[in-house]
Structure 1
């Protein structure tokens, strides 16, 4: 009897959807604060966060070979690190949100979320068909 491995069936798309959802919240927050004096735009390094999520999922924890090395613990599946965005043209009031840049990044993130969703949907449909013997 063969068992179904959801990690093999879904690949990185479940982690990608979770991270894209978190990134959407960050980008939407930037847009909501576009007129807030002193607000600093934030973002997530999606590629680094996805690699971290995949490394933890596959059990590739970092190990220290010297007592002076960092252990690499503490990131365990939580929220990815938020970084500040470097402004192209900072405003006089200190706000670093560029509405056009944020909208562009938000829309691209939404399209990539939709792509992962469609892949997961078709994978689940394929698994259901396989279980039903079709």
Structure 2
């Protein structure tokens, strides 16, 4: 187990992983712009991050646990940890004569938005890590 920089660090790393997966998916859509009958794909992960955020920042003393009245009863499932991002077809555009519905304007716009979010998350992670490093550096100077 590594050093935990902050409670938000793991959440930001998960968001980076999802953003990287989305970037790959959008790049695949652009690469298949001329493939007959290709339908563009996308990934939805905001709900998963919201659940993870709620679990990271939740007040653990306010958590309601499930009661078991008999030892043979099954324990409740942790639904927050089993949720996964959802992939879906982005079919809001007219298909061309070859059945392909990739719209390069939409794909490049989505890629730009995703890249901006990825860069913002990277900057936030760097800032989070630098704060931790500065605390360690300051504590080593006082010894």
Provide the TM-score with structure 2 as the length reference: 0.70
Find the partner of 2:99 among 78, 94, 98: 94
* 8 Å contact from structure 1 (residues 53, 77) kept in 2: no
Q: More displaced, 22-31 or 40-49? A: 40-49
Q: In structure 2, which of residues 114, 119, 127 is the aligned counterpart of residue 114 of structure 1?
A: 119
Q: Quick one: which of 83, 89, 112 aligns to 1:84?
A: 89
State whether residues 30 and 41 of structure 1, in contact with CA within 8 Å, keep that contact through their aligned partners in structure 2: yes
> When the two structures are aligned, how many residues end up with a matched partner?
121
More helix by share: 2
Aligned to 1:127: 132
SS at 1:133 equivalent: helix
CA offset at residue 86 of structure 1?
Answer: 1.7
Match of 1:66 in 2: none
Larger Rg: 2
Structure 2: runs of 5 or more not aligned: 67-76
TM-score (norm 1): 0.74
Where do 5+ consecutive residues of structure 1 fail to align?
64-70
Residue number in structure 1 paired with 2:35:
36
Name the CA distance, whole Å, in 2 between partners of 1:108 and 1:87.
18
Find the aligned partners of 1:81 and 1:72 in 2 and give their Cα distance. 18
The question of whether the paired residues in 2 share the 8 Å contact of 1:13 and 1:116 is answered with yes
Over the aligned positions, Cα root-mean-square deviation in angstroms equals: 2.9
Task: Assess if the C-alpha contact under 8 Å between 2:33 and 2:104 holds in 1.
Answer: yes
Give 1:117 shift: 0.2
| 8 Å CA contact 1:15, 1:53 repeated in 2 | no
1:34/1:97 contact within 8 Å kept: yes
Native 8 Å contact 2:38 2:100 kept in 1: yes
